[in-house]
C-alpha cells in the first residue's frame, strides 16, 4: 500500500487514515519496533567484536599522590615501565607494552610471544576530613598475543584464565598498597 506524506504523519502520531484498519497500523508500528530492536541488537554485537579485550578493577580511594606513586611502584616491581603520566586534576598512567613469554594457556592457543600494558586512571571523588582530595582509582590491563607464524601481527584475544589470575595479582597488590596509604580520621 502506498502512503502519502499526510498518511505517514498520521500513522506516526498513532492516528488511522481512511481506508486503513486500526489493526494494520498497530502491526506496522509493532513491525517497525521489532525491526529497530533487531538493528540495535546487531549493532551491539558488532560493536563488541572489534573492541580490545580489556579487564578492569576499581581499586578504591586514594590521595592523588598515593594514586600515582603507589600504583607506579607496584607496576615497576613487575618490570612495567611508565610511558606516559599525567595529572592532576585527573591521574593517568600508561605503561609501555611489556613483552613476555606466553603463559601456559596462551601457549596452548598458539601464542609464541605476548605483550601486556596497564593503565591507571584516578578521578577526584570527595574530600576527607583533613580537606585532602580523595580519588577513585581504576586499573585496566590490555594483552596481545603473537600467534605461531613468522610474520604474525599482534592480535587481541579474550583473556585466558592464567592471564586473568596474573593481572588480578597485580591489581590486588596495588589495591593493598593504596589501602595502606588511606588514613581517614574524624574530628577529635
pLDDT in tens, 79-125: 999 999 998 889 999 999 999 999 999 999 899 999 999 999 999 88
Whether residues 91 and 146 fall in one domain: yes
* Mean pLDDT in residue range 153-166: 91
Query: Tell me, what's the pLDDT at 39?
Result: 46
Whether residues 44 and 68 fall in one domain: no
Whether residues 71 and 158 fall in one domain: yes
Query: Tell me, what's the pLDDT at 157?
Result: 85
CA distance 45 to 47: 6
CA distance 93 to 65: 12
Asked if the structure places residue 169 within a domain, the reply is yes
Whether residues 20 and 59 fall in one domain: no
Report whether pLDDT(185) > 60: no
Report whether pLDDT(168) > 70: yes
Query: Tell me, what's the pLDDT at 182?
Result: 57
**How many folded domains does the chain comprise?**
2
* DSSP 8-state symbol, 118: E
Query: 19: domain range?
Result: 5-49
* Mean pLDDT in residue range 165-175: 96
Whether residues 29 and 115 fall in one domain: no
Name the average pLDDT for the chain.
Answer: 79
Give tens-digit pLDDT for 42-55: 433 333 344 447 88
Query: Tell me, what's the pLDDT at 188?
Result: 40
pTM as predicted = 0.66
| 68 Cβ contact list (under 8 Å, min separation 6) | 85, 87, 91, 93, 120, 122
Whether residues 35 and 59 fall in one domain: no
Report whether pLDDT(11) > 80: no
Whether residues 45 and 64 fall in one domain: no
Amino acid at each position: 500500500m502506498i502512503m502519502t506524506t499526510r498518511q505517514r504523519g498520521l500513522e506516526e502520531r498513532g492516528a488511522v487514515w481512511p481506508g486503513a484498519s486500526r489493526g494494520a497500523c498497530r502491526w506496522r508500528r509493532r513491525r517497525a519496533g521489532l525491526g529497530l530492536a533487531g538493528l540495535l541488537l546487531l549493532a551491539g554485537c558488532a560493536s563488541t567484536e572489534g573492541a580490545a579485550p580489556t579487564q578492569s578493577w576499581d581499586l578504591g580511594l586514594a590521595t592523588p599522590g598515593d594514586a600515582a606513586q603507589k600504583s607506579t611502584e607496584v607496576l615497576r616491581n613487575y618490570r612495567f615501565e611508565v610511558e606516559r603520566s599525567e595529572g592532576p586534576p585527573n591521574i593517568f598512567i600508561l605503561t609501555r607494552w611489556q613483552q613476555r613469554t606466553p603463559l601456559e594457556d596462551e601457549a596452548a592457543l598458539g601464542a609464541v610471544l605476548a605483550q601486556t600494558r596497564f593503565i591507571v586512571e584516578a578521578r577526584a571523588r570527595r574530600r576527607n576530613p583533613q580537606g585532602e582530595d580523595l580519588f577513585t582509582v581504576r586499573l585496566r590491563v590490555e594483552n596481545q598475543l603473537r600467534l605461531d607464524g613468522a610474520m604474525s601481527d599482534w592480535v587481541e584475544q579474550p583473556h585466558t584464565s592464567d592471564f586473568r589470575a596474573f593481572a588480578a595479582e597485580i591489581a590486588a597488590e596495588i589495591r593493598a598498597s593504596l589501602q595502606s596509604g588511606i588514613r581517614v580520621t574524624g574530628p577529635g
